[in-house]
Amino acid sequence: MSIHKYLSASVGSGGRNYKQDVGYIQCMLNELLKNERRFEFNVYKPAELLKIDGDSGRNTEKAIRQYQRKIRMSHPDSRVDLNGHTQKTMESKFNLSQLKGFSQVALALVLPKKIDNSKPVSGDVVYDLTGTPYERAKTFIKSGNASKLSYPIDYVPKSYVKGDHAGARWFGAHRSDNRKHAGVDLGSNVPRSKRISKRVPIYAMDDGKVLLAPNQFVKNQPDVGSIIIKHDCGVIVRYCEDSPSRRLVKKGDSVKKGQKLGCMGVFKSTSSMLHLEIYGDANRVDVKGKERLTNRGSKPYQRRSDLMDPTTILEDCKSRLPSTE
């Protein structure tokens, strides 16, 4: 069976550009380029994701070109030819079921109403593959509610990229074929040799209520847990890898913005960080109080479908450090 069955004609500069073909290529480009970074104002930012709209405009052509450069094509031409090198290279990165998912998204462009992209559904392949964690973060910032959040630690790490495990800290970083990093890691600023005794405090980003504070976040690592808070501005923040024995809050507590929650834990002897995850729908709470933010079936982040890109939100609130007494 040929896997090149979801494209019917060329896409991009000078191509036929049938709507569903363009949508299909846009879906793949978003996957292939979403871990590419732009260096801007001293931080790495995620590459802009394409809007899956089936229109081969300047951005789509630019993205095709960027991908062709990435695969070191000698003459990038901003066009994906039917069964050409670019298409084959792109498709070789995905499995059949993923390609089918892309083609369904693309098909929805010519069959409106069949798939409603505006409402993310838990575990829905359409949601994750269209890169909405980043778009949702942008929308959240535009809504003005992000401005109510303050930074969760009292300094801004030099970079979210370099550090204890360079390149692994940012949202969306590759973890395995099945999983991408669902949060951002804010590393300890304490020298490794002093990390056990000197802990970095963690602060609430907004007023809210502690939904849960489990003692375990990483298996067999007793010094890292997580604190899950429903914040008044409409998000749930999971403050992960805190030290359970140094915690100052418990399940059910109300917290004030800037209130100290606890401190960073230490695992694998010297690793110490705040792994931060942000979810956009604070009202989606399991009544049993069971923590259901992790969803192993929801690829590629294995998280609930309202997961947002925390880097973008932190960039917005890094000028608002908590005031420390």
Which part of the chain contacts Zn ion (CB under 5 A), choosing from 178-186, 260-268, 302-310, 313-321? 178-186
Query: Please, what is the minimum distance in Å from the beta carbon of residue 27 to Zn ion?
Result: 26
Query: Please, what is the minimum distance in Å from the beta carbon of residue 275 to Zn ion?
Result: 3
How many angstroms separate the Cα of 137 from the Cα of each of 28, 134, 267, 277, 296?
21, 5, 30, 12, 22
Query: Please, what is the minimum distance in Å from the beta carbon of residue 240 to Zn ion?
Result: 7
**DSSP summary character for residue 146:** G
Contact by Cβ (8 Å): 230, 213:
no
* Residue 180 contacts Zn ion per CB under 5 A: no
* Residue 185 contacts Zn ion per CB under 5 A: yes
* Gap between the Cα atoms of 235 and 238, Å rounded: 10
Other C-beta atoms closer than 10 Å to the C-beta of 222 total 13
* Gap between the Cα atoms of 308 and 110, Å rounded: 28
Nearest CB to Zn ion, comparing residues 275 and 303: 275
* Gap between the Cα atoms of 264 and 197, Å rounded: 11
Strand partners, 43: 40
Query: Please, what is the minimum distance in Å from the beta carbon of residue 12 to Zn ion?
Result: 36
Which part of the chain contacts Zn ion (CB under 5 A), choosing from 20-28, 89-97, 181-189, 222-230? 181-189
Nearest CB to Zn ion, comparing residues 61 and 185: 185
Query: Please, what is the minimum distance in Å from the beta carbon of residue 241 to Zn ion?
Result: 7
Nearest CB to Zn ion, comparing residues 185 and 315: 185
Nearest CB to Zn ion, comparing residues 23 and 183: 183
Q: Which residue is nearest to Zn ion (CB)?
A: 275
Question: What are the tokens at 132?
Answer: 């909405």
Which part of the chain contacts Zn ion (CB under 5 A), choosing from 56-64, 175-183, 218-226, 227-235? 175-183
Query: Please, what is the minimum distance in Å from the beta carbon of residue 168 to Zn ion?
Result: 8
Q: Cα-atom radius of gyration of the chain, to the nearest Å?
A: 21
Residues 40-99 that bind Zn ion (CB under 5 A): none
Strand partners, 254: 209
Nearest CB to Zn ion, comparing residues 172 and 183: 183
Query: Please, what is the minimum distance in Å from the beta carbon of residue 263 to Zn ion?
Result: 17
Query: Please, what is the minimum distance in Å from the beta carbon of residue 170 to Zn ion?
Result: 9
Which part of the chain contacts Zn ion (CB under 5 A), choosing from 37-45, 70-78, 87-95, 183-191? 183-191
Nearest CB to Zn ion, comparing residues 24 and 267: 267
79, 275, 303, 304: residue in contact with Zn ion (rule CB under 5 A): 275
Nearest CB to Zn ion, comparing residues 44 and 94: 44
One-letter amino acid of 287:
V
Burial class (CB in 10 A: 0-12, 13-18, 19+), 15: buried
**Where in the chain does DSSP place strands (E)?**
11-12, 37-40, 43-46, 79-80, 174-176, 179-180, 184-187, 201-203, 208-212, 225-231, 236-242, 254-255, 260-263, 273-279, 307-308
- β-strand pairing of 260-263 with 225-231: unpaired
Nearest CB to Zn ion, comparing residues 183 and 322: 183
Q: Which residues here bind Zn ion, judged by CB under 5 A?
A: 183, 185, 275
